[in-house]
Structure 1
């Protein structure tokens, strides 16, 4: 089952079983008893087919503050014992939304890895209080760091932003040992001015008036032809 670890490298533990049978028929049988197929790969090793309790993984994801960036200690026999992994991909049923498959990637605690981390905005911009509109343009960012240094998220204080101001990747404060290869000039958040919104509304009203004028002119033209 899933649970928080005190001494291991991972943040959570997950019991898995190695399986030798593969195919759709096997997957259906696993799901019928509450388990799902999974695969472990990484470091150039041959992939290992696994099965896990779907409820265990679901609970792990719901209780972990790090989401898909949770470091997981695999508990099992043979090739998986003591492996520390990240969830590389999850598949869910298209209608029910239940877990149907998982891919795990083995990590090396001493090697930096690329992860995608959410960007969370804090505060209400001054420009929004004056009628501006907040545009959150970058919601996740790719980071490079050691596994034990993965931040849950990056917080950006937008409370001091005025209208027509932006914050960019270069404005982020990254934790020690964490870096990003993302273009520093890319915008993260922007406060659009009220003036721009009003101009858009005026243009829209003018376009609508022009369409109505064209519609009224058309019958008049038809009557002129008949005369």
Structure 2
């Protein structure tokens, strides 16, 4: 459903009532006590309820895994998933919950690939990864090759936020041509992170290069910004793309 309001130039701008058309969020930090996201079970419950109010029916939560800060394991992540599932059932909150992980592209990640360790994926072996925001990893192409050779489908988290791509949009186009799925954050459409990130996110949408979208919710502040996404002109353009989210 869309509502309309008069904009400053006399025309009408569509305002979505919810994000129900996306339905499934595949990138968040809602599981309690694992990373820089939710720190308590109570806060996780608040976040799940807030995401439900935005129209989501399923949350695939993706704690950070990185060698320097968050050495999470599949077992530990699943344990927190069950804890949260039990808590929302007791609270009467209807939401399907799943988990994967957001892997930082470092040597530990490459070792896990080389050693065939279990990696948490979602959907059709989609593997979410991130890199440094400032510097392109020297082993980026090597890591992508290894992920694909192991049967994973690499998903680059928030590509619009990596400053090393600024002014190099063709590099993102080339990565996608090499089989990397691109997942911008919804909040980039409001300029939440930076004007540059907003510009790249819009350009990805304009060129039909978005495969998945994520909330990247860490806190209620992020949820508040998601509400502002509903009134951006690019959210309607985004929803006209063949996003994978509803199929997850």
- Normalising TM by the smaller chain, what interval? under 0.3
Larger Rg: 1
Higher relative strand content: 1
Q: Which has the higher contact order (CA 8 A, sep 6+)?
A: 2
Give the TM-score normalised by the residue count of structure 1: 0.21
Higher relative helix content: 2
Give the TM-score normalised by the residue count of structure 2: 0.19
